[in-house]
Amino acid sequence: MWTVRLTDRQKEVLTATLATQERLGPALSGALEALELARWDDLPDARLPWAEVADQAGRQGVSEADVVWDLSGKGRQVEA
């Protein structure tokens, strides 16, 4: 996996260049989609209490990813 940082102008130019292509294969289609989603990557880096996450994961016998999922609230069922 590659990671690059582009200015807003560079993203615009690259997106426009890809959009002008007559046929986009799977790789270029994926690149265009990634550029469209890139604005979400401009958010500040999240900070998590990793010591607490690791401790909870160990106590519950689950992975750290499961604990992060629970902390984010995405694992909760909403009752209607």
The residue that leads in pLDDT, 61 or 49, is: 61
pTM of the model: 0.44
* pLDDT digits 0-9 by tens, 12-37: 899 899 889 888 888 888 888 888 87
Domain boundaries, given as residue ranges, for the chain? 8-42, 46-80
| DSSP for 7-69, written as a single string | -HHHHHHHHHHHHT-S---HHHHHHHHHHHHGGGGGSPPP---HHHHHHHHHHHTS-HHHHHH
